[in-house]
Amino acid sequence: MASVKVLIVGSGSREHALVWKIAQSPDVGKIYAAPGNAGTAELATNLPIGVEAVDELVHFALSEYIGLVVVGPEAPLAA
């Protein structure tokens, strides 16, 4: 199976837990966190994109061929 690129949106402890668990999958190749935090930086590449910058997040996901996006905070989901 091909390695899946994953984008985690958020910067809290919830997102750190998501990165930690998703990183355990053998199907996952690269993980990005936007904007992430010090904990996510240990397992993922943090990006300087805010959680409500939906257009930037979509552009990044499309340009990097992200296979899975997981949104942690409620605000971007509502947006």
33 occurs within a structural domain: yes
What is residue 78's predicted lDDT score, i.e. its pLDDT? 83
What is residue 27's predicted lDDT score, i.e. its pLDDT? 96
Beta partners for 58?
none
What is residue 1's predicted lDDT score, i.e. its pLDDT? 57
Q: Which domain holds residue 23?
A: 4-74
* CB contact at 8 A, 50 and 10: no
What is residue 79's predicted lDDT score, i.e. its pLDDT? 73
pLDDT tens-digit series, residues 60-78: 999 999 999 999 998 888 8
21 occurs within a structural domain: yes
> How many domains is the chain built from?
1
CATH number of the domain where residue 62 is located: 3.40.50.20
pLDDT tens-digit series, residues 5-60: 999 999 999 999 999 999 999 999 999 999 999 999 999 999 999 999 999 999 99
